[in-house]
Structures are given as C-alpha cells and as structure tokens.
Chains A and B, each alone.
Chain A
C-alpha cells in the first residue's frame, strides 16, 4: 500500500500536507482500496468551519459509505472541483488529482501531532 513520505496521516485514513498554515487533505490509498468504487463525496462549502476529529462529510462508495473526519481545525478555503465531476479520481490518484479540499488551519501545530508515514504504515499493517 502506497504511503508517501511527504504527508501526515490520521487513524481515519486521511492524509494531510501543510504549507504555510494551509492544509491540503485527502484519503489514503488504503482507504480508497477498502472503500472500492467511490460514487460521490459530500463535502462542506468553502468558508465552513471544520474541527479536528469531527465529521465534516461522507464518501459514498458502491458497497459502503464512510464518514470523513477533519484532521485539523480551521476554515474550508478550497474544494477540488474534479471530485464533483469524477469521484473515481479519488480511487485512481488519492494523493494527487484526488485531493479533497484545503483548510486554512486555525492551529497549525495540530498538523504536527498527526501520524508519521511510519506510524501510519504500522497502523494499516495491524489492520490488515
């Protein structure tokens, strides 16, 4: 399972990349593989507030549905328009074109407390 080195991770199988107070988030390769074909994603609107650990949306896949939990607190600043057009992009390229949204972080230090790639790899190996 692909776990790139440049991201932080959550127990809920999301990844985060922080750059100058702005966090880009998505779901991991493991998550997309477990979910199977993603049919659509319910995301908040730009400007909505999200809180660390709280649900902010859902992913509907053919066989199942999953809640999305915010890795950090802040304000939604951008949504990936590709996900609305072709949600399967999250299956095909979860760390690249399949990113979900960007959050203007209210506490940048929250990003540091997330799982490292090594910790996340250990987590999914334990689950498998």
Chain B
C-alpha cells in the first residue's frame, strides 16, 4: 500500500495486520485506527480492559548533575516536587507562553524521562537542545528504541497482575516502577490517557510482540481487546484531556487551556513564566471550554461556535461520545462566555445546533485512581 511509503512501523505492526486493523498514517508512523469498531473498542475500555500500541510516542532521556535544573527550566510544573519513580504531567512553553508540547516527566533513579507527543518529537528535541547548558546535562532521544504498550480499563490491574510478581496494589496513579517480565527488567507506570485505571509499559522493541501476546492471554477472561487510535481519541476527549495540535499549540497558553494546575508560577524560573504571570495578572481573554449538544449532531474540528448568531470561537476537538451518546466537543471562547451552563450554538455544516457549556470531564465515572 502506497500510504506506507516512508512511514515507520512499530514492532506490533505485523500483529495489527494479522488482526485486520484499519491502518492510517499518524505522525510519521503507520498506526491502527481501529480493529473492529471505535464505539465497541471505546466501551470495552470503559467497562473492562483494552490494550494499545503507543509506540509512536517519543521518549527522551535527560541525565547528568544539572538535569533537575534543566528540566525545571524547560517545563511549567514543579519538577523539584517529584520523588524518585514519580511522574508528573506538564507543558513546555515558549517565552511568550505558547505551548511547545505537553508531556509526562518521569523522575527515575539516575535520569529524567520525558514521554512526548509523536508529532512533536523533532521539534521538542531541537527546542531542548537549543537550551541545553554547556555542561552537566546529557539529552538522548530513545524514541525509536522503545515500544510502548498500554493496558487500560477498570480490569487493567487484574490483567497486568497476571504478568508480573510486582504488587500493583501498592503503586499509586502517576508512579512508575520496574518489574521482572519474561525475564526482563521493564519500566512501567500507572498512567494513561483514557480516564480509566491502567498501565503503560516501556519495552525494548525486540520483546514487544511477545508482551502483546502475553497481555492478550492474561486479559482473555476479561474480554481484553486491542484498541486503536480512534477510540484513544474518543476516550481522551470524554475526559477533556487536551490533544496537542487540536486543543493546544504554540498559539495557546496552558492557562487558556485550563492547564493552570500544571503551571507553578510561584516556583523556579521556566521558559514562558513572565508571559504567563502577566496573563494571569491581567486575566485570560479566552478559555478552552467543554460543551455538549442538546440536539442530534456531531461537532467536528473547525466548526464555528456561535452565541446569539455571532461567531465567538471554533471547535478544536469534537465527536460523538460513545459513553454519553451525544455530540461533545472543546473549543476556545471569550472568557465572558465561558461559564458552565452558558448556551452556545455549533454551526455543523450550516445547521445551527444548540449546545451548552458543561463541567468537565464529560465522563465522570472513570476508574483511574
């Protein structure tokens, strides 16, 4: 197939093909969009468990005596608060407060690991490299040596417990650990992008297919299914988790996106702090809101958001919510119209469909701890 030309295959590629997945190009990779049905895959994760190939995500390793100061300077959350093996969600900003990327920072024993968006691997790496101090920090891109497999859903712990001796009940959300798996020492974490409990396993490429089979075997009695990027998107949107490129980018700040909780303005300096302080002082002029339709319809990215017939914004992410069975979406609107309960209209292909701003997340029964 021609679409595969020049695209990277993950170590799970042959498995996806064997399972009959619909493959799509995504951020330079050829990835599974769906195996069976986005709606059914979505519901499987909400009610039981599913496994995901997330190998496209990038991994950077930052080590050396100055690495703490460096990561602190590059990211908006407070890295000093991290204990060894703890994880933090954060953003990396430009001087003007616009977002370079959002990602996870793992503090391991001897290094920090950033797990970044696939589409931003090169941009992030050069941004980090541009600000690297002359000595004391080593930056390494290990994206293409590492496969990433996620097990997500309310039954995820039971499934993963069958694969490891590690006592998972002792591992809180946003913590990582090493476990012996098939004779290998593997880094894993209790993290995810679905709103459900779950784990993410960082695997050497060569062993990855074996772990997939193990996870499928361990999950059989729970009806585990492989989950594609389509359901990954609907699962994250129901939680109002921002997607870089849709809901956040270099023209939006974390404060506008409702990510103020990962911007620690009272701690050490970081890139973008001055701009964000100023924005906080003056008040944000627009805000990313979550809305749901009151009538039948599916909002899509770039649909106009109207109020009293006038455009006040644009949909950044929109879709049919498989859990709520209604059209849901996100978009930036002026701060004065951003209150919960505010009435909007979404222009869906010329049809104005009434909508209401709601308190996120859309899905409130998630099993993540």
Instruction: Tell me the A residues contacting B by CB distance below 8 Å.
Output: 33, 36-37, 39-40, 58, 60, 62-63, 65, 88, 91
Contact = CB atoms under 8 A, between A and B. Distances in A.
A63 B38 contact: yes
A67 to B, nearest CB: 9
Interface string B287-314: 0000000001110100000000000000
B298 A65 contact: yes
Contacts of B234: 62
8 contacts: A36-B230, A37-B37, A37-B38, A37-B39, A62-B230, A62-B322, A63-B230, A65-B300
Nearest to B300: A65
B330 interface: no
A65 to B, nearest CB: 7
A62 B320 CA distance: 6
B18 interface: no
A53 B110 CA distance: 66
B349 interface: yes
Interface in B43-98: none
Contacts of A40: 296
B34 interface: yes
B215 interface: no
Contact of A36 (B38, B297, B300): B38
B319 interface: yes
Nearest to B40: A37
A60 B298 contact: yes
A88 B300 CA distance: 20
A62 B349 contact: no
A48 B37 CA distance: 33
Given A36-B38, A88-B39, 9 more contacts: A36-B33, A36-B37, A39-B298, A62-B39, A62-B322, A63-B33, A63-B319, A65-B300, A65-B349
Contact of A62 (B38, B296, B297): B38
A63 B38 CA distance: 9
Contacts of A60: 297-298, 320
A58 B349 CA distance: 10
Residue picked from A37, A65, A91, most chain B C-beta under 10 Å: A37
Given A58-B349, A62-B319, A91 B298 contact: no
Contacts of A88: 39
Contacts of B230: 36, 62-63
A32 to B, nearest CB: 11
Nearest 4 A-B pairs (CB), nearest first?
Answer: A37-B39, A39-B320, A62-B38, A60-B298
Contacts of A39: 298, 320
A33 B322 CA distance: 18
Contacts of A33: 22
A66 B362 CA distance: 26
Contacts of B39: 37, 62, 88
A60 B230 CA distance: 15
B231 to A, nearest CB: 9
B57 to A, nearest CB: 21
Contacts of B296: 40
Nearest to A39: B320
Nearest to A33: B22
A40 B327 CA distance: 11
